[in-house]
A and B are shown apart, each in its own frame.
Chain A
Amino acid sequence: MIAYQPSRAPGSAALALLALALAAGFLPVLRMGLEQGLAGLDPYVLRVLRFTLLQAGLSTVLSLALGLPLARALARQSSFPGRALLLRLLNLPLALPAIVVIIGIIEVYGAKGWLGGVFDIYGLQGILLAHVFFNVPLAARLILGDLERIPAESWKLSAQLGLGPLAIWRLVEWPAIKGGVAGAALLIFLLCAASFAVVLTLGGGPRATTLEVAIYQSLRSDFDPQRASMLALVQLALCATLALVAQAWGGLAAGWPALRLQPKRHDGRPTLARLLDGVVVLLALLLLLPPLVALVAAGLLHINPSPLLVRALLTSLGLGMASAALAFAVVWPLATLAVRSGAWRKLASIAVLAAWIVPPAALATGWFISLIAYAGTTGLAAFLVIAMNALMSLPFVARVLMPALAQSAEAHDRLCLSLGLSGWSRFRLVELPVMKRAIGLSLVLALILSLGDLTAISLFGTQDFVTLPALIYRQMGSYRFDAAIGTALVLSAIVLAFSTLAERWSNQR
């Protein structure tokens, strides 16, 4: 049978571009690391590695310790006033840029904060607090997705057989979520091990620093590419190992669970169940609400539309759009091939996985070494930031475009073949109108990621090349915390506007 065969040239070019970006990041690091050999693994590197693992491990345990009961409470109480609102609240920490949430946390728990003195937020405690803030909602949403997939008949059966809470946990809930819990734990560990903004702002000292931040400091403060590449190698090995374990386990927690019709449960009615679930929900609210409220309340007082803010805003939007376009231009030709050929599907998924597991700072080290002669020029910095952000958003763009393209291939390939419709005209006449929501969604997701980025801009930014997150960080650093919180509110508003748009598009698809 003759099948529709898209042109291979654009896909090959995209793949070559990706390979080049990864090689430029990886090879110099590898060479410089191997030159040092084991001697490069000095006590400093080992201490940083140990702290990275410690904080990621503790963050994971704490996030699951609250996220799991929260998911169970939300599943068991399938209707109570404010439930839908609470679910939306759980999306917020992940939609908001890390730097913005950190500002909220400092406003609440910092020395001069509302609850100053409860935690010592500069150091391990602060890092854990911020990571728990981000990852409790993530864990809860992922596990809730698994719990909601339990068929309604299982709940009816449990009710009819009179299973108690323990038996339900053992027989129904745990078997349904154990794979998902392991996946969520790995994902959270990976995110925390590569977390940048949190550790940069709340840790940072030599005692409380992680590989990702130590790389940045070696490159930008100490100007020590040797040490940076050693750290980068360790970070690469760590993230690759985790990602491969996760992959072998059945893939990292796949996708964002959609809100679906809640199957009716019959085990949430007893008073004790309601009481326990109520306490868990209250704890989650105590964790999530104060920083968000503080951000809005204090931010509203301090919005200052200075020329600096406006310029940073325009820079952020410009970079974001450019990196979204670049990510789209790389993924689209690859995806059109991948949905029709097994070999290309393998290639594309390896490329996307590589972009997913390569920690940005490690990659940046290689780029930095490769381009050291041209360092300091704004044009190059902008290009590198765009490239890095595009790379980071590849998995998300691919996850949106692949299913939509597969559907379109299924529906239109034979007709297009018989009409001789291909290439650009097919894109313009068929995919563009049919997939405009998916295309828009993929672009907006990439834009949101780029708007919140602090890693790439910190690594490559220059004095007069500043995005909103970089401006916030700079304002924090120069003791203008009020200005920082105003900027943070502006950034949150923009990001939330885009994510509302994205959510609407993803629901209508």
Chain B
Amino acid sequence: MITLDHVRFRYEEMEMQFDSNFPKGSFTAVIGPSGGGKSTLLNLIAGFESPEQGRVLIGGVDVTQLPPDQRPVSMIFQDNNVFAHLDLWHNVALGVSPSLRLDAEQKARVDAALVEVGLGALMHRKPGEVSGGERQRVAVARALVRDRPVLLLDEPFAALGPAMRRDMLDLVKAMQQARRLTVVMVTHQPEDALAAATHTAYLETGHIVALRPTADLFAATDMPGLQAYLGDWSGPKV
């Protein structure tokens, strides 16, 4: 579904090179040390950065030259996913129409998405009046109404407590399965990867060192960098 074909990109002193494929319907977690290029990987797929060389293909179509809004991609950030002066409903509605002119059917879709993520009662609140977890749900609802086949998540739940994080992860996982989305999620939490991701990629200094089924990757012993990154994290709790 997503193919990075000999993509090269330079950020300050670091030379990055990505040559990978994320199949349709897969849920890939991306882990690795900070500054290794995890966010850059997402930015290249979403179109916020342009590769110096190589191509980005989504669904077989070369999107390398396309601006972000014309790619079949939605992205959820760690922070600032909402405009603070618009209420939750309008923040979601932006996903349907950037000019906020919606017909009755579109309005109903916005309502339904808000209900689906559990914000039905809060839809006319401003972002400042709801919790951090609820703000992230707004971003999920917006991704729902945009209905793009690729969903990118850049440490989306890093600022949430453990219970809330688990709820959000379940929500995204359910959405991914119901709509057969291709999801790429940057995270620092091995638990997140184990709970939701079919595959996990380990990325350091601008390269994907390994991209394997999640259980295999965490059991691997052939990558000293990965062991150092995970430290004394004790492995999946069964």
Contacts and interface: CB of A to CB of B under 8 A. Distances in A.
B111 to A, nearest CB: 19
A172 B83 contact: yes
- By CB atoms of chain B within 10 A, which of A154, A161, A164, A269 has the most? A161
A418 interface: no
Interface string B59-102: 00000000111100111010111011110000000110011100
Contacts of B75: 156, 160
Contacts of A266: 48, 67-68
Contact of B47 (A153, A154, A159, A167): A159
A264 B77 contact: no
A171 B70 contact: no
Given A162-B70, A163-B98, A156 B84 contact: no
A175 interface: yes
A156 B74 CA distance: 11
A161 B80 CA distance: 14
Interface residues of B, number: 24
B7 interface: no
B48 A151 contact: no
A115 interface: no
Interface in B102-151: none
A160 B74 contact: yes
A160 B79 contact: no
B46 interface: yes
B83 A161 contact: no
A489 B95 CA distance: 57
Given A156-B46, A161-B95, A151 B79 contact: yes
B83 A159 contact: no
A151 B77 CA distance: 11
A159 B68 contact: yes
A264 B43 CA distance: 12
Contacts of A162: 67-70, 98
Given A162-B70, A266-B48, A157 B98 contact: no
Contacts of A172: 83
Contact of B80 (A154, A159, A164): A154
B48 A175 contact: no
A175 B84 contact: yes
Interface string A151-187: 1011011011111100100011001000000000000
A167 B98 contact: yes
A75 to B, nearest CB: 17
A161 B69 contact: yes
A449 B94 CA distance: 49
A272 to B, nearest CB: 15
A175 B91 CA distance: 14
A151 B80 contact: yes
A56 to B, nearest CB: 31
A8 B68 CA distance: 61
- By CB atoms of chain B within 10 A, which of A154, A157, A175 has the most? A157
A167 B69 CA distance: 14
A181 to B, nearest CB: 15
A454 to B, nearest CB: 44
Contacts of B85: 175
B48 to A, nearest CB: 5
Nearest to B148: A160
Contacts of A264: 48
A167 to B, nearest CB: 5
A161 B92 CA distance: 11
A32 to B, nearest CB: 50
A153 B73 contact: no
B99 A167 contact: yes
B77 A160 contact: no
Contacts of A269: 67
Contacts of B80: 151, 153-154, 157
Contacts of B69: 159-162
Given A151-B80, A171-B86, A175-B84, A160 B46 contact: yes
B214 to A, nearest CB: 27
A386 B47 CA distance: 59
Contacts of A175: 83-85
A171 B83 contact: yes
B46 A164 contact: no
Interface in A123-161: 151, 153-154, 156-157, 159-161
A426 B106 CA distance: 68
Interface string A259-272: 00000101001000
A145 B47 CA distance: 26
Contacts of B95: 161
A320 B111 CA distance: 66
A478 B67 CA distance: 63
A157 B99 contact: no
Nearest to B98: A163
Nearest to A167: B98
Nearest to A160: B68
Contacts of B48: 156, 159, 264, 266
Contacts of A154: 80, 83
A163 B86 CA distance: 15
A269 B48 CA distance: 12
Interface string B32-74: 0000000000010011100000000000000000011110011
A140 to B, nearest CB: 24
Nearest to B73: A160
B215 to A, nearest CB: 33
A167 B86 CA distance: 13
B6 to A, nearest CB: 24
6 contacts: A154-B80, A159-B68, A160-B68, A171-B83, A172-B83, A175-B83
Given A156-B75, A162-B69, A171-B83, 5 more contacts: A157-B77, A159-B68, A162-B67, A164-B99, A266-B48
Q: Ordered nearest first, which 10 A-B pairs have the shortest CB separation?
A: A162-B69, A153-B80, A159-B68, A151-B80, A153-B77, A163-B98, A175-B85, A160-B68, A167-B98, A161-B98
Interface of B: 43, 46-48, 67-70, 73-75, 77, 79-81, 83-86, 94-95, 98-100
